[in-house]
Structure 1
């Protein structure tokens, strides 16, 4: 049985100790650490810890891939470092400002890291919503009427995340920027509050202190909530310095909300929605130009995006808003066959390898990834990336499968990985094409992996 307390202590020691940690968080498979000085990190020692699959660095954040034990290790690490496990924005800004060239060179990486850090805590809710939706659809397939009230309740429960997505983003962003969570949720909640949206119907021209308020749909937005949380954190910081102690408890939250609300609905909200739309439209435009091309690109690069943690930001900015706005995502879900490709590559290694230990590991990790709901990190880091050629085959097979899936117009009603447990949310138009994409992409990957083989002495 793994000693999670020992693992947590070793990880903290090898990243330079407690004093070198700025933030700590985790996603489904990774412990994420923001550090002050990367020169203090002993990366090789980190990767040799029993249970650590790989160490990925992006934007100064160390992502330690642990797979299914991440929760246990995170819990033990939290006890060691205390309760402050989220990014302190001020420290990050000071660190970046100390080296202008480094800031410029890593701007995109830091932006992705920021978005991933905010979206990651919402992933469990996205998974829960997806599985609830899948359960409802699976029950209907089993013969229960769609009009059954239990089915109706489960369906609504599965949709609630997407109906209030900005609020979830606001909660996570408030934790990220160290803003007051309750104030942030109150302010961001205004964007999706029915009485606020009704004002645009009740009044011919809606103004705040004479300034026109733009009628914008915020239900699927992400950036306005992030900007709001950031501004509230800044306001609170400034107001605490200005106001005397006796007035802070009342006037800091009051003035923070009073300042940010008009900025949010007049300026930040519309601009944020526009910015999010620009990002999302990059994917939508490619899909509209050619679903086959879009599917091939997304399916071919998705596993690379997972390595750098970029997939989380894209899910938050594109896939979830698509589902919130249209009830279905047909674009980002074209990565689904690439998940199957990771597993078939591992199975090909298990069949091809001569070394009994490699065969056993490849088979075990492939089955683990499959039965865990296509959480592919175990086989990806444990086998396919380690021996390089299988991962190349995965990217090729993923592109082929993604192209077929895109051509079929397949979609999903929940932002969850395609697996034996979640397939009901992928049912509908194009489902047959999705299955064909998974089969063909998986076979292409298997055949290429088997033909190319592996150097059994090779490792990363």
Structure 2
């Protein structure tokens, strides 16, 4: 049994100790650390700790890839850290002032921000996906869709996407250290039926004479993020200028009063249009050619995972697509690339002569498969380590994604394709998706086997 407490101690020692941490969090597979002094980090020693698959640095944030044990390690690290670590609000500005190219650091910090806000919602996305899969599996087994139990499960699986801005608002409020209840109240306005009814019952809507644009906010995330940020700033300024006796009442009241008009008049519409602009980069490519879109997404998705960009894209494109259309047919074309990671690992297990490499490749491949296609174990433990298998994965993923795109496959939940979640992928194009997985996986297996690996590399 793994010694998670000792592992947490080793990680903290390698990153400069507890006093060097500004913020600590985690997502599904990574321990995320924002540090005060990067010079204190012993990155090579950190990567040698047993259980650590890889260390990725994005936007100044150290991401320690741990796979399925991240919850246990985070819990032990949290105990060791205690109350000494908090989120530093100046952290983002400090990153922006670092001695790196402006364009590079802006993109890195934007990715880190979006990923940091979307990551805490991933468990809810998984839960919603599995509930939806359970309902669809029951229907496949012969239970009627009119059965009220099935209807309740189906609705429960859709709740996340019906109130997606609120979930984003909660996470963004925690990220920016804004008052969570005030943020939820303000963001909740966007999806409140009575707010939408104002537009339905009036020829024109204005606030203090300023026109309010009628925009659908159900699938948006940027307005919620901007609202949480503004609320945090308003609270900070108001606490500075208001006397102590008035803060408890007037800080929340004035924060909401200031942000609500800005939200519905300026931030909301611009945020929705900005999110749509980003999503349309993917949608327009898909509309031009589903085959091309599938090949691009399937070919680069595993690279995006390395840099943590996949989480931001799931939040900005996949989840809003499901909220708006009930189905995502674009980003899900990456699904075959997950199978490709596993078949590449299996090819290494068959090809390798070293018994330790064979055993490791087989174990990590099966671990990734039975964990629901959480592919970090085999990706970092084998395919990236020996390089050539990862190249094969990208090629196989592109071919499998092209086939999936051509078939018009889709998913009703933003969860990875696996033996547990396949019901959410049922429907039009499912056969093409399966064909894409088989063809992409086989091509990856053959290419990996033919190219082989340098068994002395990273020994």
TM range (shorter): over 0.9
Correspondences of 1:26-425 after superposition (within 5 Å): 26-82=26-82, 87-97=87-97, 99=99, 101-425=100-424
The answer (yes or no) to whether the contact 2:334–2:397 under 8 Å persists in 1 is: yes
Q: What is the rounded CA distance, in whole Å, between the counterparts of 2:10 and 2:411 in structure 1?
A: 41
Deviation at 1:98, TM superposition (A): 5.6
Q: Find the residue that maps to 2:34 and give its secondary structure.
A: strand
Q: Which digits, 9 at most, give the CA deviation of each residue in 1:229-272, with x for residues without a partner?
A: 00000000000100111111111111100100000000000000
Deviation at 1:82, TM superposition (A): 3.0
Q: What is the rounded CA distance, in whole Å, between the counterparts of 2:370 and 2:364 in structure 1?
A: 10
Q: Which digits, 9 at most, give the CA deviation of each residue in 1:3-54, with x for residues without a partner?
A: 1111112111211122221211111110011112212110001001111111
Deviation at 1:92, TM superposition (A): 2.5
The answer (yes or no) to whether the contact 1:96–1:102 under 8 Å persists in 2 is: no
The answer (yes or no) to whether the contact 2:291–2:405 under 8 Å persists in 1 is: yes
Classify 1:15/1:264 alpha carbon distance in 2 versus 1 (closer, same or farther; 3 Å). Answer: same
The answer (yes or no) to whether the contact 2:21–2:85 under 8 Å persists in 1 is: no
Deviation at 1:158, TM superposition (A): 0.2
Deviation at 1:203, TM superposition (A): 1.5
Structure 1 stretches of 5 or more lacking a match?
none
Aligned residues: 459
Deviation at 1:459, TM superposition (A): 2.0
Q: What is the rounded CA distance, in whole Å, between the counterparts of 1:355 and 1:86 in structure 2?
A: 46
Deviation at 1:201, TM superposition (A): 0.9
Classify 1:95/1:304 alpha carbon distance in 2 versus 1 (closer, same or farther; 3 Å). Answer: closer
Q: Find the residue that maps to 2:52 and give its secondary structure.
A: coil
Classify 1:201/1:83 alpha carbon distance in 2 versus 1 (closer, same or farther; 3 Å). Answer: farther
Q: What is the rounded CA distance, in whole Å, between the counterparts of 1:331 and 1:187 in structure 2?
A: 31
The reply to whether residue 25 of structure 1 matches residue 12 of structure 2 is no
For the aligned residue pairs, the C-alpha RMSD in angstroms reads: 1.2
Q: Find the residue that maps to 2:256 and give its secondary structure.
A: helix
Q: Find the residue that maps to 1:64 and give its secondary structure.
A: strand
Q: Find the residue that maps to 1:282 and give its secondary structure.
A: helix
Q: What is the rounded CA distance, in whole Å, between the counterparts of 2:205 and 2:86 in structure 1?
A: 38
Deviation at 1:83, TM superposition (A): 5.1
Q: What is the rounded CA distance, in whole Å, between the counterparts of 2:384 and 2:409 in structure 1?
A: 29
Classify 1:84/1:114 alpha carbon distance in 2 versus 1 (closer, same or farther; 3 Å). Answer: farther
Structure 2 stretches of 5 or more lacking a match?
none
Q: What is the rounded CA distance, in whole Å, between the counterparts of 1:301 and 1:358 in structure 2?
A: 26
Q: What is the rounded CA distance, in whole Å, between the counterparts of 1:242 and 1:103 in structure 2?
A: 34
Q: What is the rounded CA distance, in whole Å, between the counterparts of 1:393 and 1:16 in structure 2?
A: 37
Q: Find the residue that maps to 1:367 and give its secondary structure.
A: helix
Q: What is the rounded CA distance, in whole Å, between the counterparts of 1:353 and 1:250 in structure 2?
A: 68
Deviation at 1:84, TM superposition (A): 7.4
Q: What TM-score do the two structures reach when normalised by structure 1?
A: 0.98
Structure 1 runs (4+) deviating above 6 angstroms are: none
Deviation at 1:80, TM superposition (A): 2.2
Q: Which digits, 9 at most, give the CA deviation of each residue in 1:48-80, with x for residues without a partner?
A: 111111111111111101111100111111122
The answer (yes or no) to whether the contact 1:36–1:95 under 8 Å persists in 2 is: no
Q: Find the residue that maps to 1:373 and give its secondary structure.
A: coil
The answer (yes or no) to whether the contact 1:28–1:68 under 8 Å persists in 2 is: yes
Classify 1:201/1:188 alpha carbon distance in 2 versus 1 (closer, same or farther; 3 Å). Answer: same
Classify 1:381/1:167 alpha carbon distance in 2 versus 1 (closer, same or farther; 3 Å). Answer: same
The answer (yes or no) to whether the contact 1:78–1:85 under 8 Å persists in 2 is: no
